[in-house]
Amino acid sequence: MSRPNSQMSLPICGPAQKTTTAASRVGSNVEGFRAGEAMHIEAPEILLYHEDCFEGIRTRVEAGSVDVVVTSPPYNIGVAYTAYDDTVPRSRYLKWMREWAGLVRRVLKPDGSLFLNIGCKPSDPWVPFEVAMELRHVLTLQNVIHWIKSIYVENVSYNEQTSLNVGHYKPINSKRFLNDAHEYIFHFTLDGTVELDRLAIGAPYKDDSNVTRWKGAGNGLHCRGNNWFIPYSTIQRRSSDRPHPASFPPELAEMCIKLHGVDRVGLVMDPFVGIGNTAVACARLGVPLIGFEIDEGYLETAKKRLQRRVGRSFAGQGDQAQVVANPGP
């Protein structure tokens, strides 16, 4: 499939197909979201709904229409969200996750991918594994990726001393636990047979001689593997620069989409939009997205980030992103 253009219609159903009447250019003021309302960014087409993802997926997304899901659900470790109780009993949480995975399975294409980011805390390390075990009843775990936020490397490589200390982490004041500097990305598919574009996020060979030595190394890249170092950007104020307690960088979503294969992505879905990092990634890559978020504050932040970052990126390309207030049902 060729890369979708900005005029592509999303495979949505029901009220989302209504025409919109209120529009404003990026950078102008748009009224706050009401339940069931959508933000619409064109070029590429991005729809973000102020709505619970269970209802949104059931009513707005056709079966077998989504190529890639990149998302990060609540972790059930007491994260201080503003519109969700992250302290529900573990059994109830796992049942909820299994039901959610069933909805995702329904809308994924046969060769679709779900990239599920989930973390834990040192005193409760089992959550990612329990979620993976629960979802195995619905989907197939094809790859396990480690998102490395911070790393220190000290070694001798190619007869050279290497010392590297990069990234950001939240220090833990404990005599029992190590600083938590990574999270999981579980790559689920319907049957575990989805082919990936591994070299789309490939790493260069350290020794140029490998390019001629190994078959298929003509482009100078090899598979990056399942350890991805993606640091957070340095911020000045958490409340304004990253007002979400458990977000991932847009670069993480970009890598997931590229790994699946951008040229065959017609629609990305993010059921837990948060502050819009998957949406920003889709805008950068030029692929459509539909997403859902129950927290109006997070959705407002997502809107502003898209206006600020995406609006500038489209400038000079002849495209103008728009924000459209789209009435819900």
**Domain CATH number, residue 221:** 3.40.50.150
Burial 265-284 (b: 16+ CB within 10 A, else e): bbbbbbbbbbbbbbbbbbbb
CA separation for the pair 71, 57 (Å, rounded): 14
* Confidence at residue 245, expressed as pLDDT on a 0 to 100 scale: 45
CA separation for the pair 107, 118 (Å, rounded): 21
Query: Which domain, by its residues, includes 82?
Result: 14-326
* Confidence at residue 172, expressed as pLDDT on a 0 to 100 scale: 83
Whether the CB-CB separation of 39 and 298 falls below 8 Å is answered with no
* Confidence at residue 4, expressed as pLDDT on a 0 to 100 scale: 34
In a domain, 59, yes or no: yes
- How many separate domains does the chain show? 1
In a domain, 2, yes or no: no
In a domain, 320, yes or no: yes
Indicate the helix (H) or strand (E) that contains 239. helix 238-241
* Confidence at residue 219, expressed as pLDDT on a 0 to 100 scale: 77
In a domain, 8, yes or no: no
In a domain, 5, yes or no: no
Whether the CB-CB separation of 62 and 69 falls below 8 Å is answered with no
Whether the CB-CB separation of 267 and 279 falls below 8 Å is answered with no
In a domain, 6, yes or no: no
In a domain, 9, yes or no: no
In a domain, 233, yes or no: yes
Indicate the helix (H) or strand (E) that contains 49. strand 46-50
Residuewise pLDDT in 10s, the chain (329 residues): 333 333 334 454 433 333 222 222 222 223 344 555 566 555 578 999 999 999 999 999 999 999 999 999 988 866 665 666 768 899 999 999 999 999 999 999 999 999 999 998 888 899 999 999 999 999 999 999 999 998 888 877 767 777 777 877 778 888 999 988 899 999 999 999 999 999 999 998 876 665 556 555 557 888 999 999 998 765 444 444 444 444 689 999 999 999 999 999 999 999 999 999 999 999 999 999 999 998 888 888 888 888 876 554 333 233 333 333 332 33
C-alpha distance from residue 66 to each of 43, 100, 292, 293 (Å): 18, 15, 14, 18
How far from the centroid of its chain's Cα atoms is residue 224's Cα?
19
